[in-house]
Structure 1
């Protein structure tokens, strides 16, 4: 529960799950978690990266991220229009895109995945600086997606610096 004492709305209209946009926006169901859906969505994103993206070339990973961003805007707009909730916590596809950005250029290792996960969650939750600006400045499907892109890019920069300067393996 947020510090204000007002809980975030939960996803309740399961009839919407008949549409692929709902499944995408909800991170294939990870956004339905009653506790910390953003963190659960980020963990699901790391798992999908490990299974499907980590072994792809950089251009293919970037193509997936760019396409996923565009689809995420559409899916978020669709779900926002049907639920009436401006930026619901159950939309977690934005976590997938931000998390995949944080994982770019890293080797397929548990250390790398854990570092990228922690960095992305930090920037996404704290929402300071550019992430907070993006969160306040943009709305709708683009707004839902864009602040996580900024958090992902910041995490990417941090993780790359740590990875390259410490020699973690």
Structure 2
């Protein structure tokens, strides 16, 4: 189980990418967003909710074995953060693009309380919490765009 969680922390090796592992992991999460969106809002929310404590545990175990905090190889936090960003949104290329850029921007720059959380909370929870916060901020912005503009385009029909 420990080995599985360490692999999950790196999204089965995606986090070992030599360049921009967080960005690569966010791109790798796009098919999961499509799959969960196709499954419906309840399965989407359940999987996202369950990935949070599992991700915290995976990050904690990875950190213990590596002896460092928030290694760039740990990318399960980007997966959960991007899933949060894209919840309850239409599957359009515009939504995916805007959500991707917005989440990565917030995750990288860590504005406001996102940066505070990143600095103050240690362990697996500390790895996950800033990306969850970035995903929540991005999700609120995306929901505002969805309900108040036509920037997110027309729904892609899946299935």
Same fold per TM (> 0.5)? yes
Which residue number in structure 1 is paired with residue 135 of structure 2? 152
In structure 2, what is the equivalent of residue 49 of structure 1?
Answer: 33
| Residue number in structure 2 paired with 1:94 | 77
Aligned partner of residue 63 in structure 2, secondary structure: helix
Q: CA deviation at 1:138?
A: 0.8
Segments of structure 1 that go 5 or more residues without pairing to the other structure are: 1-17
Does 2:125 match 1:142? yes
Where does structure 1 differ by over 6 angstroms across 4 or more consecutive aligned residues? Answer: none
- Residue 129 of structure 1 corresponds to 112
Matches within 5 A, 1:1-169: 19-50=3-34, 52-168=35-151, 169=153
Q: Secondary structure at the match of 1:28?
A: coil
Residues 23-48 of structure 1 show CA distances to partners (whole Å, capped at 9, x for unaligned) of 21001221011000010011111222
Corresponding pairs, count: 151
| Backbone CA RMSD of aligned residues | 1.2
**What whole-Å deviation, never above 9, does each CA across 1:59-106 have from its counterpart, x for those lacking one?**
221111111011001111111110101110110000000000000011
1:3 corresponds to: none
